[in-house]
Amino acid sequence: MAPGAFIPGAIRSFTCHRQILPCAAACTVRHKRILRRGADVRRCSLRMHGSSRETPLALGTRAGQEVLLGDRLAVLPVPILSDNYSYLVIDRARKTAAAVDPAEPQVVVREANARGYRITSVITTHHHWDHAGGNAEIRQLLGKQDLEIIGGVGEDIPFANVYMKDGDEHKLKDSSLSIRAILTPCHTRGHVSFTVANPSSSGPGAALFCGDTLFIGGCGRFFEGSAKDMVASLAKLRKLPADTLVFCGHEYTISNLKFAAHVEAENEKVHSMLEWAKEQVARGDFTVPSTMGGELQYNPFMRCQELAGRHGSQWQSEEEAMASLREMKNRF
């Protein structure tokens, strides 16, 4: 295991210094004992509890830590700008990486170089400057005018030379890893989320890079779409396996969960997540990744169908709930 790496592969708890501790991913307020930054993570591994699999609400990451999905795929969150995340999607065997939304390319390239990874591709979720604005500079920094830059069909992505439509699969350059495109319009008309399948037989099945469509506990603003579009986009993401790791485009988690607690004051999962997120951020750590199964339990925008279906609900449909919640969040 590489130093500074975290394996989310199993589900419920980790073993550390021969003592079984409740996983930080379980996010319950009573479980306060979490590994601090600087711990010897090489001595920590996850433990599977037989066939009983309980998907954690979120996993989070210590700053500078790689998230390992099996033995071949790793993801390194790279904080950039004021609250954005870029990511390195790493082929551990070949030491190559794809950079997701590297809007501050000097930071992303520096992280890759420090770890001995060679960036061979760029994945761009949508055209906004804080996601696509670094594409020109990263070509220059790497000295690769033909650098593989991937974007969605119909989205104006600077220097894109690989265009993917909904359901397309693409093998990353100089990598054994493949990505699949999921068209998720609303924040922008051509916004695409991407999944990277875990090629190993152990660990979560995939990582999702969802840009500004889905956040931990929230969703993106409807800049170029409608509530109907967001309902349809999130419905696609809801179909992903519960253990899919969710890597979003911004650190908005505390704000989102405060709103979620306002919407569903009785939802204990929301309050547990909020307390955990506050602890993560206070330590200078990250709340990414969450899990798809977790989002379905505490994210009100992923729960519009359930909220609209409740007896006495003010909303008559999932779309009506989505539109109302987004307007409420905009003013929250």
- The total of other beta-carbon atoms located within 10 Å of residue 234's CB is 24
Quote the CA–CA distance of 147 and 160 in Å, as a whole number: 9
Q: How many residues are given for the chain? A: 332
Q: Per the residue annotation, which of 91, 101, 212, 285 is the catalytic one?
A: 212
DSSP SS3 for 306:
helix
From the list 127, 131, 170, 191, the catalytic residue is 131
Q: Looking at 91, 130, 229, 285, which residue is catalytic? A: 130
Catalytic (active site) residue 131: yes
Contact 308, 318 (CB under 8 A): yes
- DSSP category for residue 301: G
Pairing of strands 5-6, 66-69: parallel
Q: Ramachandran region of residue 143, left (φ > 0), alpha (ψ -120 to 50) or beta? A: left
Residues contacting residue 72 through CB under 8 Å, at least 6 positions apart: 91, 92, 93, 176, 177, 198, 199, 200
Nearest to 215 by CA among 255, 176, 173: 255
Active-site option among 127, 170, 191, 250: 250
Q: What is the bridge-based pairing of β-strands 19-22 and 13-16? A: antiparallel
Q: Annotated catalytic residue: which of 170, 187, 191, 271?
A: 187
Residue 128 annotated in active site = yes
| Catalytic (active site) residue 31 | no
Catalytic residue among 91, 126, 127, 229: 126
Please name every residue paired with 193 in a beta bridge, in sequence order, or none if there are none. Answer: 182
Phi, psi at 126, each rounded to 5°: -165, 175
Terminal C-alpha separation, the chain: 43
Active site includes 49? no
> Is 170 one of the catalytic residues?
no
Phi, psi of 137 (to 5 degrees): -70, -35
Q: Detail the DSSP E strand segments found in 184-293.
A: 192-197, 206-209, 214-215, 218-219, 245-247, 290-291
What string of DSSP letters covers 16-71? ETTEEEE-GGG--TT----PPTTS-GGGEEEE--TT-----SB--B-TT-EEEETT
Identify the active-site residue in 128, 170, 191, 271. Answer: 128
Which residues are annotated as catalytic?
A: 126, 128, 130-131, 187, 212, 250
